[in-house]
Amino acid sequence: MEPTVKFILTVSAWPRWFRAMVTTLIHHVLRDPITASTISLVGNKSAAQCNAWVARRQTFRQEFNDFFHSGQYDALIAPVITIPAPKINGTKMVSALATSTILYNVLDYPAGVVPVTHVQEGEIMEDERWKGREKEGYAWMFLDQVYGRGGVYKEIVKDGVGLPVGVQVLHSFVGFQGADEV
């Protein structure tokens, strides 16, 4: 099982008091509020909590749709994942790397991926581009796993010259939510 999914499923089975304790430690001692928030949100939900989350999602969809159309945007171009496309079986962290696509799944908007360039010889991610980004709302534990000590990025770009780097194009037309074939 993919490690990120396994982690979330494991954490969701922890007793609520234990998750709360771990969340507090991660947030205040390790200073990673994003990972702490993720841990605090997993777990069983009552029917009322599920209904509240669905209502929240509907409100968010409407706000996003209103923003899109008030700006008269036809489409949005966004990153697909935080690194170049990995080789087949090139990483076990695919779901964690694809967090930028979750928004469009929640919105249920059709989106497509288009390759725009390829990894060039000698391309690397300089430390100054990712270190300190937790101040901008990124989880430092995730960044360190991908770009730092975890070595996911280095492993993917090693012998990765020519791998595609793409963008996703989000379609914004009203009435097309859920119409991925568009």
Give the per-residue pLDDT at 165: 83
Give the per-residue pLDDT at 90: 63
Give the per-residue pLDDT at 34: 80
Per-residue pLDDT band at 83 (split at 50, 70, 90):
confident
Per-residue pLDDT band at 96 (split at 50, 70, 90):
low
User: Are the C-beta atoms of residues 104 and 167 closer than 8 Å to each other?
Assistant: no
- From 70, 121, 99, select the one nearest 168 (Cα to Cα): 99
User: Are the C-beta atoms of residues 34 and 134 closer than 8 Å to each other?
Assistant: yes
Whole-number average pLDDT of the chain: 79
| pTM of the model as a whole | 0.65
Query: Which residues are within 8 A (CB) of 36 and not within 5 positions of it... i.e. 6 or more apart?
Result: 23, 24, 26, 27
Checking if the pLDDT of 113 tops 70, the result is yes
Question: How do strand 75-79 and strand 111-118 relate by DSSP bridges?
Answer: unpaired
- pLDDT tens track for 134-162: 666 667 777 777 777 777 777 777 777 88
Give the per-residue pLDDT at 67: 85
